[in-house]
Structure 1
Amino acid sequence: MSYHKGKRKITLTIVPHTDGDIRTLRISKSSIKFIFLCIIISVITVLGFLWYYYGEYSQAQHEINDLLPYKERNQVLKEEKEYYEQRLSEFIDEIEKINNEFGDIITEKQEIRELINGKDNISQNNEMQTDMSNNIGYYDFENSEDKGNDMIQYIEANLVMLKEVMPKQKEDLSNLKQKVVEHNRFIEAKPQGWPIRSGKGRVTSPFGYRYHPVLKKRLFHDGIDIGVWYNHKVIATGKGRVIFAGDQNDGYGRKVIIDHGYGYRTLYAHTNRVLVKRGQWVARGDIIALSGNSGRSTGPHLHYEVQYKGKVVNPMDYIK
């Protein structure tokens, strides 16, 4: 291959190593300059594009690097969100259980109110009045650096406390309910009130020592005598079981004795007619006899007697 330079053109001769035609190519100087210029422009253009895209890439990479912490933070926040959602779901389940237990306590309280129902003055149980809110802790979330985690710990601590307190409250309410039931039974059984329907009659002979109108001497009167005409309705002054109904020939005539339990017994004597039988259960206000003048008596009246633990006591203390 050889070059032949002229004033305006360059001749390029191409000789093959093997058999073949020799080729000659003539190129003007202006064409060569143009080709070189195109090559230079192309190189500059390519380099410019490369520089531009390198700058764009560097900026994008820089922005990506700047966003990486946010991506990591976003991942952390996502994991925290999932954790808090899970814990919140667990708390909701726990709170639902506690609400159910509170519902049981409210039901117990309502039953206790129904049992009390103004039948007697029962002192309030301090434990039943426990204010659950006083046991709930307080935390200043506004000044907390990690509100989510602190709130979780706060709720967990109070749920633990509530779960510990609730069984005790339920047990206390159950015990109180049983006490109220037993107390109401006692109130139903304890002798109370006037033993003649509609408040008929008046006390003609009080409890204690007196001059006996039949035996004509000073003796202790075990009850009270209520002056009342024949066939007025004699009523039980408390719930109990009739342990005697009839006449024992002991001076009391036709009488009724009721065992009320809790150490109490009542006796209704000198009646005209007994209306109950031995072993029968009666409630306060039930008619058990009709007033009269049977036995050792100077006129129609009712002898009413109250015994407590085997000893006679003043019936007036149970009438007022």
Structure 2
Amino acid sequence: MEERRVGSSGLRVSRLGLGTMTWGRDTDEHESADQLRAFLDAGGTLVDTAAGYGDGDSERVLGSLLDGLVDRDDVVLATKAGIDRRSGQRVVDTSRRALLAALDASLDRLGTDHVDLWQVHTWSDGAPLKETLSALEDAVRSGRARYVGVSNYSGWQTARAATLLEGSPVGARLVSTQVEYSLLARGAEREVVPAAGALGLGVLPWSPLGRGVLSGKYRTGTPADSRAASPHFAGFVERYLDERSRRVVDAVVTAAEGLGASPVEIALAWVRDRPGVVAPVVGARTAAQLRGSLGAEDLVLPPQIRAALDEVSAPAR
């Protein structure tokens, strides 16, 4: 698998990342191990998790696999902090206290003394931005994080945070922004992607398959083993089961048939090669699904196919 630099930093990662949002919940440890093996065997390096995934279960499963399955140095380990669901409700806290406590807990669950990329999971007005960024600086200064980034920030929020950290005395500048980006979600192109490009941040798209909808699996209903059928993720998928999304999915399926590829490969190749993108982060329920995503590595979309997909998925202005 090819590697790319994360923005203007020296960090290099595979141009496809492995997402672990369902690990420890809808994906058990055995299936998670199969996914990690398949990803590493294909040359993948970037593995992304978060403290808030499954109340920490995703990190716990990943940590157990890193302990016995792979060499820690073979993985570019990324995690996030700032969202907590232990109370049963979604709680956002990006204060210095909460973030650094979350980082220590993440390192314990992951069984490592550092992560390669530590990201603030979302913006919050509940803490001053400078305080939030001071936690990133402390993580870099202490060696607990090699690089830092943000996630789910708007364009102006990304620009403000990156600008404030430009002169960090410990070199804790932002190197990445993780944001939803796919043929069904192109809002990041309005401000986030241009801001990232201007400030030297790499873009890490999450849900590059439109929350699974771009696979085409929902064209005739909701499969019993799909995310839309899961009590945890049904609402997560539902927003893309509308008429506009169906038109985009139909175009992806048509392109796949014409190129002898799968809809998953088409959708991933499209977002992977968008300006500013470093590595789409792909999650899968099974190793077989993940292997289907890994097939996109060898696919380059012809200009006419790319143009057609651009047109049918163009966001409202």
Normalising by structure 1, report the TM-score.
Answer: 0.19
Structure with greater Cα Rg: 1
Which is bigger in relative contact order (C-alpha 8 A, separation at least 6)? 2
Relative to its length, the structure with more strand (as a share) is: 1
